[in-house]
Amino acid sequence: MLTGSEPPPPPRLHEELFMSLERDQMVAGRHQALGRAHLSLRARAALWVLRGFVMVVGALVIYTFLARI
């Protein structure tokens, strides 16, 4: 954890630490948004069908659970 009372690291050590991370592993790199993936109409429809199916079955499970208690 960072504290304000300790001195900054010598530049050489700082550099060595920096080298141990991959460029896209640093916070700044991880915050660079990736582009959107292209999904075909059929793939999007299939995902929504699966989503709807899961919601219906989830609702049935919750209803049954509540009805039994």
Partner 1 sequence: MSLNETGEFVLPLPRPAAEQQDGLTGEDLARSRDRARVLAARARSSRWFLLWLLVGPGILAMLGENDGPSMISYAATGAAFGLGFFLPFIVVTFAMAIVCQEMCMRVGAVTHRGYGQLIIERYGKVWGWLAAGDLVFTNLVTLIAEFVAIRVGLAFFHLGAGVAALLGVVLVLLAQSGGRYWRWERVVLGLAVFNGLFLLSAVLVKPNTGHLTHAFLTFSPLPRGSFNEILLLLASTIGATVTPWMIFFQQSASADKGLTPNDLTQGRLDTVIGGVLAAVFGCGALVAGAALAGHGGASVDGLAGAGFPEALSRVDGGTAGALFALGLIEAGAVAILTISASTGYAIGECTGASSSFNRPLRDAASFYFVNVLVAVIAAAVILVPGVPLLSIALNANVLATVLLPVTLVFMVMLANDRQLMGRFANGPATNLAVAITVAVVAVCGAAYGIDSFLLQVHLIG
Rounded to an integer, what distance in angstroms lies between the CA atom of residue 60 and that of residue 1?
47
Residue 16 contacts partner 1 per CB under 8 A: yes
Please check whether residue 29 is in contact with residue 23, taking contact to mean a CB–CB distance below 8 angstroms: yes
Q: Which one among 22, 40, 41, 42 touches partner 1, defined by CB under 8 A?
A: 22
| Least distance CB 5 / partner 1 (angstroms) | 9
Phi/psi of residue 65, each to 5°?
-60, -45
Residue 41 contacts partner 1 per CB under 8 A: no
Rounded to an integer, what distance in angstroms lies between the CA atom of residue 1 and that of residue 13?
18
Contact set with partner 1 (CB under 8 A): 1-4, 6-9, 13-14, 16-18, 20-22, 24-31, 33-37, 39, 47, 50-51, 53-54, 57-58, 60-65, 67-69
